[in-house]
Amino acid sequence: MVPPGGYLWWYLDALSDDGQYGLTIIAFVGSVFSPYYAWARRGGATTNPDNFCALNVALYSRHARRWTMTERGAAHNHRDRTEFRIGPSQLRWNGDSLVIDIDEVGVPLPRRVRGRIQVHPMQLFSFSTPLDASGRHRWGPLAPQARVEVDLSLPEQRWRGQAYLDSNEGDEPIERAFTEWDWSRSLMADGSTAVLYDLEPTRPDARLLALRFGTDGEVTPFEAPPQKTLPRTAWRLARRLRSDGPVTVHEQLEDTPFYQRAALRHSLLGETVTCFHETLHVPRLVSPIVQAMLPWRMPRRT
């Protein structure tokens, strides 16, 4: 159960075997990006996280980019041990794989996203670790190595590739514990996944996670390379990545005032890898100006 004011999300990213397609999907309970959830907390209203759920779908390709994040109230959602329904879309665990049926409308252009995505874990993990000193915020990968099957009718695309699935949860609003973080995941040559989680990277109380998730189910810490400063985004968002050598931006996937996502090329553990990388800047997220802008990208259905 997610406590009032808290949050839970499941995050999936995937890249096609031919490198032509990519996606990210985030299923939110108590959406940390929701201006409606933030306004409810500030106004003293009931802040049941199940009343602020959303399915964020982002598709990346040369031919079709889509972005959806319609938030829905409790009357439109249902969640139990194996199923999470958010309006007309749902996520379902069938015992072997995660099945995601999507029926959403994009913003700001109202283009529909419809179809099925199946995620087949190669190894399931029950690993979880605190992200803050008090342990009120936690993270852990569920399937750091997985295969994905994408079958969409709108926009029409069918492909297979490699995927990554994890989860974050918190017992309080995210702004009470963090100001910023940089996160990345890299698929290594032996099939393992290396994750770097730089929390508060510019402060004395910085916390760093450098973990390798093996195909045998083992979790192994490794010595993180030096921190490299990346070029600021178009929104002038500062970002960093730990790398043994130069870092190049292979593709900028998302660029907002408070959050960026990119595919980067860099050196890690003696290999040249492509990683999914994200930066979150919480003070920008909770600023009144940004909160007033967010409904344009995150409409709500009550």
pLDDT above 70 for 45: no
The residue ranges of every structural domain in the chain are: 7-301
Q: Report the candidate in 164, 205, 165, 163 with the shortest Cα–Cα distance to residue 181.
A: 205
pLDDT in tens, 51-68: 999 999 999 998 889 999
Q: What is the CATH number of domain 7-301?
A: 2.40.370.10
Indicate the average pLDDT of the chain.
96
Q: Is the Cβ–Cβ distance between 7 and 29 less than 8 Å?
A: yes
pLDDT above 70 for 151: yes
pLDDT in tens, 204-240: 889 999 999 999 999 999 999 999 999 999 999 999 9
Residues 6+ apart with CB under 8 A from 163: 12, 13, 14, 15, 119, 143, 146, 147, 148
